Chain A
Amino acid sequence: MNRVDAKACPIIANHIKVALVGQPNVGKSMLINSVSNAHLHVGNFSGVTVDKKEVLFDYKEYHFTVVDLPGTYAFTDYTIEERVTHEYLCAEDYDIIINVIDATNLEKNLQLTSELLTMSKKVVIALNMSDEAEKEGIEIDADYMSELIGIPCIKVSAATKMGIEQLIDAVVAKHESTKNRPKLVFSEPVEEEIARIVWYLDKHKYDATNSYRNVAINLLKNNKKTYAKLHDEPIWTELQPILIEASEHIELHHNSDDIKEAFAEEYASFNRGIVAEVVTNKQLQEKKTLTEKIDAVLIHSLFGIPIFLFFMWSLFQLTFEIGAIPMEYIDAFFSWFGDTIGATIANDDIRSLVVDGVIGGVGAVVLFVPNIIILFIGIALLETTGYMSRVAFLLDGFFHKFGLHGQSFIPLVTGFGCSIPAYMSARILKNDRDRLLTLFIIGFMSCGARLPVYVLFAGAFFSADMAGNVLFIIYISGAIMGLIAAKVLKLTAFKGVDEPFVMEMPKYRLPTLKLIWHTVLGETMMYLKKAGTYIAAAAMLVWFLSNYPHNLALEKEYGNKIAVAATQEQKLSLQNSLDEALLEQSYLGTIGKFSEPLFSPLGFDWKMSVALQTGLAAKEVVVSTLGVLYALGSDVDEESSSLVNAIKQNIPFPSAIAFIVVIMIYLPCLAASVVFTREAGHIKYFFYLLFFTSVVAYVMAFIAYNITLHFF
């Protein structure tokens, strides 16, 4: 590609805007990945694409904009995804639809297709997962299918990139052609009524953008928009009786009083016809699929839940055991890096800022990257294999008792990774009350950013072989508190009818390494980016607040004492008391001291109080704040330079437990709070959440502190 091409603006001619539509789990996002090498998040449970995403790329002399719309089973506006997609398709401006279809399940997928065909838009069908269909013995005659439906059908496979070029070529060809006559044949009574309405519209030369046939179909289907449009026309008075009679005729034929149900049956029988014509099924005998075999074990009514708990427990063990291996090296690297950089800076203040403030703070955060990578791999595996839906199935009965929905499980588990995507994925809950309730308790699921704090404290107070178990207990007890909170909220603030539970259980898929890699890389980079910018800035601020104002009198007084001290030991202890005294009269010390009375019932000293308050910005900052506070306050020999030891020496066990409890419950972070407010729909919910979590955190920490105090 030459430079001129690259600079060409997408608005210039030859621009094709494509709407990518399909049922959930047919591989739309993966298809975009294959087409454009973009890296969207690809999941294997219903509802990964909630927002529509745009991807731009060039092919031959065309500029493509592909809009990846959320997966939708039909135009029923049942979930938020369906509403987003339906509204986009009806109201927005685009050139052509690519309808992505799961070739292994043609009949079900065609249900959406038949609805698309009544929209008078150009459509191209992508028969995705064709390689998989062939393996299963399903042979589809794509050419014959194109002929029958009247729109191009192309076999593709997003996974192996088969047929991608043919698909784009077909899109271009369809875009250029002026012909657009999809064939959708209904039963005789419906065709009769359509013909009658078309004849009537034609007689009155009704001015429509859609074809008369489609207008007629939409009228018969009770499509609100078409109704509203025709309602103001003079022909309406004559049309209305015809429509009423037509509906009665069709309903009689289908033995139903619901015209939408009647049409669904019409579509279904048309689709059955298509499938019967174009699909040859080589495997005639019903063999158990691999998915069924796996399901027989994983969702077994007795073993299912223990297996799930075992998976979760293993994940936390791995997070700690394997994650601990590179931590030493990272720690060593940052202290070496700090020393090396520090040696080149002459000014004391600047050196302290760079070494203790920035490198120390960021280092403390980077230290936990291995743990976070492992946790995200686990969550990515849960999502992409399709196991997540099984867990929702297993746990719905249990969740339902607490007033939650089986599907609440998806945002809740995502919450173990990061609260922000968790808040966003709560949109899969259609019912507002159910969604709000789930939003309120997502914070109880400890996010990845809280992991560093736990690892730090578990490492300081427990032996290495116990730490993994402690971590597991922290996560589980957080989740249990969340469930109890849900029950309390359901009985008080969120009373009402339950949302129905109807969910697809997708096929099990082995995720590609590339997919996992991209997901984990994305999440980890986000974490590191935060460490590099936000957290570095916060660490600098904390450093400043803990170093200023300087107290020269105090420094001089101690300086003299140190100068006359006899032994090295005395000098060291004097230096320590000086550091401590300086810290106490700093800005940070003042803030901590001011809020200390509030936190003293929980056994927190002012340093811990300050760390908690900075943690409102982000949980990673808690660790870096503790790092700055304790690194400055303790002596500087090899042994205690590590934060773990500083904490072991300075914080009593009961206070540490109370501290962990507060971290588990109170607000996740500033960014998550913003997202929460947006998803909940009103600022008042944020204040409810702030109040609710703060009170619960304080009370629980108080209880935990006093119990621990009693026993240890």
Chain B
Amino acid sequence: MQTLLDCKKGCKVKVIKLTAPTELKQRLISFGIMKEATVEVLEHAPAKSTIEIKVGKMRIALRAQEASLIEVEKI
């Protein structure tokens, strides 16, 4: 299964499932990261420790660990 962590810089994907624990899932949802949402990967921090994504008009920073809990598919 492809996760957000596997995405290269500049690619656009659709979220299909959040596998995060409840609390983190709520947090992601409150940032607009939910099923069907379109996510664009903007930038990777050095060593890919953190990634910057764009959901709607909002830019969000995520740690690699959290990004791997977001299952996505290419659009």
Contact = CB atoms under 8 A, between A and B. Distances in A.
Interface in B43-57: 43-47, 49-50, 52, 55-57
Contacts of B24: 500, 502
A127 to B, nearest CB: 15
A145 to B, nearest CB: 18
B45 A397 contact: yes
B26 interface: yes
A111 B36 CA distance: 16
Interface in A100-123: 104-105, 107-108, 111
A500 B20 CA distance: 10
B59 interface: yes
A295 interface: yes
Interface in B1-41: 18, 20, 22-32, 34-37
Most chain A beta-carbon neighbours within 10 Å: one of B24, B44, B50: B50
A505 B28 CA distance: 14
A658 interface: no
A394 B46 CA distance: 7
Nearest to B23: A78
B49 to A, nearest CB: 3
Contacts of A503: 60-61
A295 B43 CA distance: 9
B27 A505 contact: no
A299 B45 contact: yes
Contacts of A397: 45-47, 49-50
B48 to A, nearest CB: 8
Contact of B26 (A74, A265, A291): A74
B35 A256 contact: yes
A299 B28 CA distance: 22
Contacts of B18: 261
Contact of A502 (B28, B37, B42, B56): B28
Given A73-B30, A406-B63, A503-B60, 15 more contacts: A73-B27, A73-B31, A76-B27, A107-B57, A264-B29, A264-B34, A265-B34, A295-B43, A304-B46, A393-B52, A396-B63, A400-B49, A502-B61, A504-B61, A505-B59
A389 B45 contact: no
A633 B58 CA distance: 62
A261 B58 contact: no
A406 B50 contact: yes
**Chain A facing B: main interface SS:** helix
Main secondary structure of the interface of B (DSSP, over half): mixed
Interface string A388-401: 01001110111010
Given A396-B63, A406-B63, A505-B59, A500 B43 contact: no
Q: Identify which of B46, B55, B60, B63 gathers the most chain A CB atoms within 10 Å of its CB.
A: B63
A301 B45 CA distance: 5
A642 B25 CA distance: 61
A107 B27 contact: no
Query: Chain A interface residue count: which class?
Result: 35 or more
Contact of B42 (A107, A256, A295, A392): A295
A299 B52 contact: yes
A553 B8 CA distance: 85
Interface string A493-525: 000001011111100000000000000000000
Interface residues of B, number: 37
Nearest to A506: B59
A265 B36 contact: yes
A170 interface: no
B27 A504 contact: no
B57 to A, nearest CB: 5
B56 A107 contact: yes
A197 B29 CA distance: 27
A505 B60 contact: yes
B45 to A, nearest CB: 5
A108 to B, nearest CB: 5
Given A261-B25, A501-B62, A396 B32 contact: no
B63 A258 contact: no
A52 interface: no
B63 A501 contact: yes
B66 interface: yes
A504 B30 CA distance: 11
Nearest to B64: A397
B62 to A, nearest CB: 6
A264 B15 CA distance: 14
B23 A406 contact: no
Specify which of B45, B55, B65 lies most central, judged by the most chain A CB atoms within 10 Å of its CB: B45
Given A502-B62, A503-B60, A261 B34 contact: yes
A158 B36 CA distance: 34
A300 B52 CA distance: 11
A268 interface: yes
Nearest to A301: B46
Contacts of A108: 32, 55-58
B29 A74 contact: yes
Contact of A105 (B47, B50, B56, B61): B56
Contacts of B50: 393-394, 396-397, 406, 501
A260 interface: yes
12 contacts: A76-B26, A256-B35, A260-B26, A264-B30, A265-B35, A265-B36, A268-B32, A295-B42, A396-B45, A396-B49, A500-B65, A500-B66
B30 to A, nearest CB: 4
Given A108-B32, A393-B45, A400-B49, A501 B26 contact: no
Nearest to B54: A292
Nearest to A79: B27
Contact of A504 (B25, B44, B59): B59
A498 B64 CA distance: 13
A406 B29 contact: no
A305 interface: yes
A99 B29 CA distance: 20
Contacts of B46: 301-302, 304-305, 394, 397
A500 B25 contact: no
A548 B26 CA distance: 66
A396 B67 CA distance: 14
Contact of B66 (A291, A300, A501, A505): A501
User: Could you say which of B30, B35, B52 has the most chain A C-beta atoms within 10 Å of its C-beta?
Assistant: B30
A606 B40 CA distance: 63
A695 B34 CA distance: 49
Nearest to A291: B59
A396 B26 contact: no
A44 to B, nearest CB: 13
Interface in A285-306: 291-292, 295-296, 299-302, 304-305
Given A260-B26, A299-B52, A396-B50, A501 B61 contact: yes
